[in-house]
Amino acid sequence: MQTISVKCKLQVPVELRSEIDRTLQGFAAACNQILDVANRENCWNTTKLHHKTYKAVREATGLKANHVCQAIRRVIGNAKAVKQIHKFRPTSINLDVRTFQYIEELQTVGVTLMCGRVKFKLSIGNYQLALLKGQSPTAATLNKTKQGDYYINICVDLPTDPNGRTPKVIGVDLGRRDIATTSTGKSWSGEQIQATRDRYSKVRANVQSKRTRNSRRLLRRFSGKEHRFQKWLNHNISKQLVQEAKQLNASLAFEDLTNIRESLNQKPRSKPERRRTNNWAFYQLRLFVGYKAKIAGVPVVFVPPAYTSQSCSRCGHIHPVKGKSYRNGKLFKCGHCGFEHDADVNAAMNIAALGVCVSNPESPGMSCQLEGQLFLFPISQI
């Protein structure tokens, strides 16, 4: 099973908006109070933090019991996800089976607020209806947008197709010039997202230099736009990658780029280059591919990134001089066999070859040649 979030708009009467806002404010206040205790006493265990904060938070905020429990889980969850937690804002609240109910026949949801249980009609389309059909969800998140609209993200479990073994593998090379390039020759240019990031970077620098009263609000607004555009782009790319793999009955192979930011930041680079690298959302793309592939029954494997861009996909040869490569920008021309190809496609083909080794362990493996020596990549290292 794969859990996804279905975003649904709520039809909220005017007289109930203040009740939702009051509950959101109480939940944010509870999270901030719990966060202060956790920081002060260095306590990040859910059970211990519950005993330290539950009674005091309920008395201070007037929240329902399950809302306080969810606030504790929210603080602990955020602490595990990010290095530094900022103050919580009254924009969302977590709901569980005791504070949330989905009624399919009426297309309504019951939400427990500080004033009690309230039912809201859903304003959704056929896409959401299909995902929610026959579901009995037990968790959701109520959100308020900057425009003042209310949405509820309902968690549903979708059955996944079994991942069958297949000899076909599509290699995917990730980069900044081209966000993704496949071994089948498809690519998605990164020029648009790079131009968008550079534009917002200049706007942020201009706003920060003025230091007006509205600077913080404007910076948050620009950051949100940039993140939404990046998320939209990664959703589209991941969807097309999974669709192609499904049609060809193939696996998807990616380089394991864990800790790549740390290694790149150790190299001397200009400030713009450092910013562009740190804004590279390849991990988000990988996450989107992961859950979409699981639903579609497409296997995803990860391979070591060493020599994938330097090796010739035809003969496996590497430039004999250390620090040099046969790659020149977008062109790869092997000095051993004369093979010429798009450099990113050549890297994707090498990733696909390594992916075959992972998907089919009985295969002989992959090798590369350097200065007359043969280097093998055994299955145990892949």
Closest-CA residue to 230 (of 280, 181, 289, 297): 280
Q: Which residue has the tokens 């493996």?
A: 365
Taking a C-beta distance cutoff of 8 angstroms, is the pair 60, 98 a contact?
Answer: no
82-91, 107-116, 261-270 — which is least confidently predicted? 261-270
Mean pLDDT value across residues 91-118? 93
H or E element: which one contains 81? helix 65-81
How many other CB atoms sit within 10 Å of the CB of residue 189?
12
Domain boundaries, the chain: 2-158, 169-192+231-381
Phi and psi at 284, nearest 5°, equal: -60, -45
Greatest alpha-carbon span in the chain: 79
What's the pLDDT at 317?
Answer: 84
H or E element: which one contains 110? strand 108-113
| Integer-rounded Cα radius of gyration of the chain | 25
What's the pLDDT at 55?
Answer: 94
Residues contacting 77, CB < 8 A, separation 6+: none
What's the pLDDT at 220?
Answer: 65
Per-residue confidence band for 378, with pLDDT thresholds at 50, 70 and 90: very low
What's the pLDDT at 166?
Answer: 64
Kindly tell me the burial class for residue 67, based on how many C-beta atoms sit within 10 Å of its own C-beta (0-12, 13-18, 19 or more): buried
| Mean of the per-residue pLDDT values of the chain | 83
pLDDT of 38 higher than 80: yes
Kindly tell me the burial class for residue 219, based on how many C-beta atoms sit within 10 Å of its own C-beta (0-12, 13-18, 19 or more): middle
Residues in the chain, how many?
382
Q: Is 252 helix (H, G, I), strand (E, B) or coil?
A: strand
pLDDT winner (highest mean) among 57-61, 335-339, 362-366: 57-61
What's the topology of domain 169-192+231-381? Nucleotidyltransferase; domain 5 (3.30.420)
Q: Exposure string (b/e) for 35-59, b if CB count within 10 Å is 16 or more?
A: bebbeeeebeeeeebbebbbeebee
Per-residue confidence band for 157, with pLDDT thresholds at 50, 70 and 90: confident
The 10s digit of each residue's pLDDT in 200-256 is 777 767 766 666 666 666 666 666 677 788 888 889 999 999 999 999 989 999 988
What's the pLDDT at 334?
Answer: 87
Per-residue confidence band for 89, with pLDDT thresholds at 50, 70 and 90: very high
